[in-house]
Chain A
Amino acid sequence: MSNNTIQLDDQGRLKHFLTIEHLPRALLVEILDTAERFTVVGDRIVKKVPLLRGKTVVNLFFEPSTRTRTTFDLAAKRLSADVMNLNIEASATRKGESLADTLRTLEAMQTDMFVVRHQNSGAPEFIAKQVAPGVSVINAGDGRHAHPTQAMLDMFTIRRHKPDFENLIVAIVGDIAHSRVARSEIHALATLGVPEIRVVGPKTLLPSGIEQLGVSVFHDLESGIERADVIIMLRLQQERMQSPLLPSGHEYFRTYGLTAPRLRRAAPDAIVMHPGPINRGIEIDSSVADGQHSVILQQVTHGIAVRMAVMSMAVGTQATNQ
C-alpha cells in the first residue's frame, strides 16, 4: 500500500502531510510556491492572514522540541488559527493512557488539525488512520522515519539560492542512521530531480541499505563534498558523541567537521545548511556556520512560511471535501 492513499484525497490533494516518500513532484513544487507567497506575510505590520480562522490546531508533542514547535505555533497563528500546545511527554502517556485514547480525548474537543511529533516511527501515520474525516495530521518528526516539513523548508532554501534542482550535487553529512531529517531530504531531493545525492559519514552512522534510497555513499568528508553545490550538515546528538558509535566529539570534528579549508573542496558558491540546533566545533566550525556560505538562519525563517503552506493546503483540501 502506498502512503499516498492516506496522505492524498481522491483528487491527489494533500490531506495529511506524513512523509515525502511517493509524493508527486508537482505537489512538492506547489508547497514551495505556496510558501513563497507566505513569506511576505512576515514582513507586514499585521502578520496575519485569515485562512485558518475558526480552526483549532493542536501541537501534539510527545518529544521535546523548541524550534519546530515554535515555528509551527507561529505558522498556525499567522494563519489565524486557535492553537493549543500539548507536551504529552509530561502528561497523559505517563499516566498510562494509550495513544489512541489520548487522541479520542483531543478529538472530542473538535480539533481540526494535529501537528504531531513522536519518538516512534510511523506514529503520525497511525494517528492519521484514527482521526475522523476532515481532521488533518501534520508530521513534525517521527522517530527516525520522517520530518517532512523540515525537508521542505530545506528545499525552499535551496531553491531560493539554486533554482535548478536538476543540476545539483547535494551532500548530506553526519548521523544519517538516526536522522529523520536526512531520510525526508533524500526523498525530497530525489523527487525534485536532483541527479546526485550523497551521504557522508562513518559506517556507524550510516544505516544498512541506505544506497537503495538512491544515494551514493562516502566515508570521507573531503571527497564527499567535492564539487557539491549544497552541503547539509546534520546534528550529532550529545549522547552519541562518546558511545559505541563514536569515540569523541573531538575526533568527530577532526574527521567529519566542516571547516573553511575543507569547504574549499565544494563548489565556489556552495551553500551550507544545518537543521539546527548546531554544535559548534563538533559538526561545523564557527567560521563556516557564521560565514558567507551559511544559510542556516534563513532556514529558520523559511520554516514558518513552509509550515503555513502545508497547513493551509491540508485544511483547504479538507474544507472542500466536507
Chain B
Amino acid sequence: MKLKVSQGRVVDPANDLEEITDVFIDGDTVAGLGHAPPGFGSAREIDAEGLVVCPGFVEIGAQLREPGDEHKATIASELRAAAASGFTTVCCMPDTSPVIDTPAVVELINQRAKGVRGARVHCIGALTKALEGQILAEMHALKEIGCVGVTNAHRSIRDTNVLRHALAYASTLNLTVFLNSEDSWLGSEGIVHEGSVSTRLGLPGIPAAAELIGLGRDLLLVEETDARAHFRTLSCGRSVKYLNDARRAGLKVSSDVGIAHLFLCDEDIGRYNTQCHVRPPFRTRRDRNRLRKGLANTHIQALSAHHQPQDQDAKAAPFSATEPGISGLDTFLPLLLMLVNEGTMDLKRAIAAATIEPAQILGLDIGALGVGDVADICIFDPNKTWPVTATAMLSQGKNTPFFGRTLRGKVSVTLVGGRIVHEIKA
C-alpha cells in the first residue's frame, strides 16, 4: 500500500531532521521525503497538519505478562495498547511463567503476537535458567530464535561468580546483557527509598548504596569480560556519573531511565499510595533532577516506559504487600512532551531517547525515517488533552500514579511496516 503523510512536523533525530514536510511510504518502507519518488502515483493521504510525525517509539523492556499472568495482561492487549501509544516495537522481558529460557517460549510469544494489530514484539531471553542465578540459560539457542539480548530481569544475580561467567558467555555470543543492578543484600528487605519518607511511614528502605554497589560490581565484571551491557531503569543520581565514567573509559555500556522516575520522588508516596510502589524505588527530588539532566545531556541514552501492568488486586493491599510497577505505555507520550514543555530537553532529544537510542542499544535497524528505512511511524497531536481513566487507557493494567490526571499529547496514527495499526478517526 502507498501512503502520503502530508504536512506534518517531521522529527527524525537519527537524521537530524525537524521540519514540516511530506512523507511518502511505499509498502513497508519510507520511499520519499518532501517529494514523491518517481512513479509513486496515487496514494492514500493522511493529513498530518498540526501533528508531529516521528519514528515509532521503541520500548526496551516491558512486562507483557503472557505466558503465565494473563489476568494482568496479554500479549495482544499490550501490543495493541503499545501501538495506540505510539510504540512500534516492544521488547518483552523474560520474567514470564515459564521464563523465556528456551526457544519454545519465544515461539509461543511470537505465535501469540501474530495477527495482533499492534506493535512488533522482540524477546529478551533469560541470562540464567529460570532466572535462578545458578545455571546459564541456553543463550546460543535464544539468540538463534531471535532474542535481542539476555537479562536476569529484576532478579539480580547474587553469586558474583555466576554473573561473571554469564557475562563472559554472553560476550562470546556477542549478545547484549541487560542488567537491573541492585545489591541483593542491601535490597533484600526494602520496599521504598531509604530516607526520611521511609522513616516516617515505617516502610523498610532500600538505600541508594544498593544500586551503586550493584552498579559498581557489574561494571567491573563488564570491563573484565568485555561484555556489552545495558543498565536498566536507573534510580540514583550518582548512577549517571558511574555509567558515564565507564563509557568514557571505553566500556560498551549504555543505560535507560523509566519515564515515571523523571517525574516522581519518594515524597509522592504520600500516605501509602501503592501506585508509587516501583522497583527500583522513586528516590529523592535531587535524584530525580539528576536523572532528568542525565537524559537531556545523553549521559543516559534511552527512555523507557518501564511498563509493568498489574491487576487491581496487586495494588489493593497494605503498601508492603503490593506488587511493584506502573502501567507505563499509555502515559508515555504525554510525559515525554511534558519534559519538553518544562524545558528539560528539546523535542528532538526526547524523541531520540525513545526511538533511535533504544533501537541502537537493541541492535535493531529501526528508529529512523530516512528514505529506505522501515516505515515504523508515530503521528501524534501534541496539544490534544485526555483524562487518564480506566477506559482511556488501553493497557489491561490500569496501575498508574497519573490516574485521574488530564494529560496533553495523544497519538493519532501508528504505522508498523507501513501498515496502519492504530488510527483515531477524526
Residue ranges of A at the interface with B (Cβ–Cβ < 8 Å) = 1-3, 6, 21, 98-100, 118, 120-123, 125-126, 142-146, 180, 183, 207-210, 212-213
Contact = CB atoms under 8 A, between A and B. Distances in A.
Interface of B: 194-205, 207, 270-272, 313, 316-321
Contact of B199 (A2, A120, A210): A210
Contacts of A98: 313, 316-317
Given A21-B200, A146-B202, A121 B316 contact: no
The 5 closest A-B pairs by CB, nearest first: A209-B196, A145-B202, A144-B202, A120-B318, A122-B272
Nearest to A146: B202
Contacts of B316: 98, 100
A249 B25 CA distance: 76
B200 A213 contact: yes
A315 to B, nearest CB: 24
Contacts of B320: 120-122, 143
Contact of A213 (B199, B205, B271): B199
Nearest to A212: B196
B321 A207 contact: no
A125 B317 contact: no
Nearest to B273: A1
A120 B201 contact: no
Contacts of B195: 208-209
Nearest to B313: A98
Nearest to A179: B202
A208 B205 contact: yes
Nearest to A213: B200
Given A1-B271, A126-B272, A121 B199 contact: no
A118 B318 contact: yes
Contacts of B272: 121-122, 125-126
16 contacts: A6-B271, A98-B317, A121-B202, A121-B272, A122-B201, A125-B271, A126-B272, A126-B318, A183-B199, A183-B202, A207-B199, A207-B205, A209-B195, A210-B196, A212-B196, A212-B200
B193 to A, nearest CB: 9
A209 B201 CA distance: 12
B320 to A, nearest CB: 4
Nearest to A5: B271
Given A122-B272, A142-B202, A208 B321 contact: no
A212 B199 CA distance: 9
A181 B318 CA distance: 19
Contact of A208 (B196, B202, B318): B196
A3 B202 CA distance: 15
Contacts of B313: 98, 100
A176 to B, nearest CB: 9
Contacts of B271: 1-3, 6, 122, 125
A118 B319 CA distance: 12
A122 B319 contact: yes
Given A1-B271, A144-B202, A183-B202, A120 B319 contact: yes
- In this complex, the member of B196, B207, B271, B320 whose beta carbon has the largest number of chain A beta carbons within 10 angstroms is B271
A231 B152 CA distance: 50
A137 to B, nearest CB: 13
A126 B317 contact: yes
A317 B243 CA distance: 57
Nearest to A187: B200
Nearest to B185: A244
- In this complex, the member of B200, B203, B270, B317 whose beta carbon has the largest number of chain A beta carbons within 10 angstroms is B200
Nearest to B193: A208
B319 A121 contact: yes
A3 B271 CA distance: 7
Contacts of B270: 1
A183 B200 contact: yes
B217 to A, nearest CB: 20
A121 B201 contact: yes
Given A1-B271, A208-B194, A123 B318 contact: yes
A143 B318 CA distance: 10
A120 B321 contact: yes
B58 to A, nearest CB: 36
Given A123-B318, A143-B202, A207-B198, 6 more contacts: A1-B270, A100-B317, A121-B203, A122-B272, A212-B199, A213-B196
B248 to A, nearest CB: 32
B291 to A, nearest CB: 21
A43 B201 CA distance: 38
- In this complex, the member of A3, A21, A145 whose beta carbon has the largest number of chain B beta carbons within 10 angstroms is A145
